[in-house]
Amino acid sequence: MSIKQLAIVCGTHGNEITGVYLMKKWQKNSQLITRDTFQTKLVQGNPKAYEVNRRYVDQDLNRQFSKASLANESLSGYEELRAKVLNQIIGPKSDPKTDFVIDLHTTTSNMGPTLLMPQRGRFYNFLAAYVKQQMPDVTVFCDEDHKHNDEHHMVCTMGKYGVVVEVGPVPQSVLRHDVFEQSEALTQVILDFVDLYNQDKLPELPASIEAFRFLKSLKLPLNEAGERIGMVHKNVQDKDFKQLNPGDPLFITFDGDVIPYDGDTTVYTAFVNEAAYYDNNLATSLMEKITLEIK
């Protein structure tokens, strides 16, 4: 299957403003995001959240795209409504007019440029290998979650294919030159891939690449009343995609007691101390390092 219709979604989270400024740039210079073999639609995910400089108005927009939520007409929160309109523009999820969705995000975590892939398959493997070949600094983050795509709740799962461009560290509501450049460069490489894929002109790709697969999230240390009693230890802060071994310092209580990682095996961290995850007291994601066979 070739990719005929592509959508780039910017500003899905209102305070991740890098994507919104890239959108403004691309609106003025649309040739930057078009290629001969496909058409590109540029969509601002959550303009109202951007206006009020918040991640969202009522709910996280990037959690509203399961097939069940999209079908549930009794939901009336702002993002629950916005999701249905985006599904009209880009989807419908069950039989989408859009072949490929690129959703632009930033994180306060030190993740560098990251390609997040919510599904498995040959198309994704080739994409990841091409991206690693062209931009070796990119980390490939597999978040398939072992679900059927219908259950996935992310914006990018509206298309036949979809990925997240996730770049950090950058504080919420801030533009960083380096993060802006990395977000733009990674998007360009993905667009180049799609164009080459459509023409069956991909270069020779590596037989396998390094990637990371999501295992689970860890919560911050809480007391019985659910109040935080500590924070991410400085040995883990900024160490996204680095090893965390059993017994390594993981948290420190406000009183100064170190809480070590109590797992049985070496894992890797991601979304370390991400600002947006404080709502749910999430401290970090844990990942396994994998070898992705390119076939």
**Residues binding its own copies (CB under 8 A):** 21, 24-25, 29, 108, 169, 171-178, 180-181, 228, 231-234, 237, 252, 254-255, 273, 275, 278
41, 97 contact by CB (below 8 A): no
CB of 196 vs its own copies, minimal distance in Å:
25
Buried b (16+ CB within 10 A) or exposed e, 195-234: bbbbeeeeeebeeebebbbbeeebebbeeeeeebebbbbe
Q: How far is CA 125 from the centre of its chain?
A: 17
Structure tokens at 84: 């249905």
Residue number, 175 or 196, with CB nearest to its own copies: 175
CB of 73 vs its own copies, minimal distance in Å:
30
Structure tokens at 148: 């059927």
Q: How far is CA 92 from the centre of its chain?
A: 21
CB of 88 vs its own copies, minimal distance in Å:
29
Residue number, 64 or 108, with CB nearest to its own copies: 108
Residue number, 188 or 237, with CB nearest to its own copies: 237
Say how far apart CA 152 and CA 65 lie, in whole Å: 7
Say how far apart CA 280 and CA 237 lie, in whole Å: 18
CB of 287 vs its own copies, minimal distance in Å:
21
CB of 50 vs its own copies, minimal distance in Å:
12
CB of 199 vs its own copies, minimal distance in Å:
28
Residue number, 171 or 247, with CB nearest to its own copies: 171
| Terminal-residue alpha carbon distance, the chain | 16
65, 93 contact by CB (below 8 A): yes
CB of 159 vs its own copies, minimal distance in Å:
27
Residue number, 3 or 10, with CB nearest to its own copies: 10
Residue number, 250 or 286, with CB nearest to its own copies: 250
Half-sphere exposure of 109 (CA within 13 A, CB side): 26
Residue number, 12 or 108, with CB nearest to its own copies: 108
CB of 274 vs its own copies, minimal distance in Å:
8
158, 9 contact by CB (below 8 A): no
With 0-12 CB in 10 A as exposed, 13-18 as middle and 19+ as buried, what is 279?
A: exposed
For residue 279, give every residue at least 6 positions away whose Cβ sits within 8 Å of its Cβ, in sequence order, or none: none
Closest CA to 170 of 51, 15, 11: 15
Residue number, 219 or 234, with CB nearest to its own copies: 234
